[in-house]
Amino acid sequence: MARGRGRNLSGATSLFKPTSQGGLRTPSGAAKYTREFEAPSFERDGPIAYVRVKTRFTLSPMLLLLRIIGVWFLLIAMVAAVIDATKSLAGGGAWVFTPLGQQWANLNPNSLAAAKTAVETHVGTFMWNPMITEILNAPTWVVFGILGVLLFWLGRKRAPAEVFIN
């Protein structure tokens, strides 16, 4: 006998018999509300508790804000990639990557200098020199792309959690 969906249940006995009107009638002597098939008995008991955590269908404001900022960062990354691709095509086909530090210095050099002094005074020079300068030397579209994907992932709708407690 096959196991699973294709199992033949023709030999199973039922307490309900079909009637000519399409309904089911109970045989005499059977209880009125008897199940057709009883649940199989297992050697161990079932779970002690079954907990299903349902999330709301609407996003919380914080998750929505994370997703919006993530999308904006992804759009900035796409614009920076298009600018770099345009410079590459205009320059004869050699790849051109504009570092984030250079973009920031072109847009507002005073804020870059203020950020450097703030990090060096409040955190320390070890944070600016090896860590932040590496980020500022990376291509702009890579930095904003990674931040956008990360924020969009953090703002995603969570799947409902199912917990079995034995």
Q: Where is average pLDDT lowest: 37-41, 62-66, 75-79?
A: 37-41
Neighbours of 73 (CB within 10 A): 20
Contact (Cβ atoms closer than 8 angstroms) between residue 59 and residue 156: no
Say which residues have a Cβ less than 8 Å from residue 134's Cβ, sequence separation at least 6: none
Of 128 and 166, more confident: 128
Residue 8 has, within 13 A of its CA and on its CB side, a CA count of 4
Average pLDDT rounded to a whole number, residues 81-93: 90
Contact (Cβ atoms closer than 8 angstroms) between residue 73 and residue 148: yes
Instruction: List the one residue out of 144, 146, 150, 142 whose CA is nearest residue 67.
Output: 150
**Which two three-digit tokens encode residue 143?**
């930095």
Three-state DSSP at 128 gives helix
Confidence band for 44, pLDDT divided at 50, 70 and 90 = low
Q: How high is the mean pLDDT of the chain?
A: 78
Distances (CA, A) of 133 to 14, 58, 127, 149: 77, 40, 9, 22
pLDDT at 2: 45
Question: 103-137, pLDDT tens digit by residue?
Answer: 999 999 999 999 999 999 999 889 998 899 999 99
Confidence band for 156, pLDDT divided at 50, 70 and 90 = confident
**Residue type at 66 in one-letter notation:** L
Residue 24: what are its φ and ψ, rounded to 5°?
A: -115, 140
Residue 35 has pLDDT above 70, yes or no: no
pLDDT > 70 fraction of the chain, expressed in percent and rounded: 63
Of 68 and 13, more confident: 68
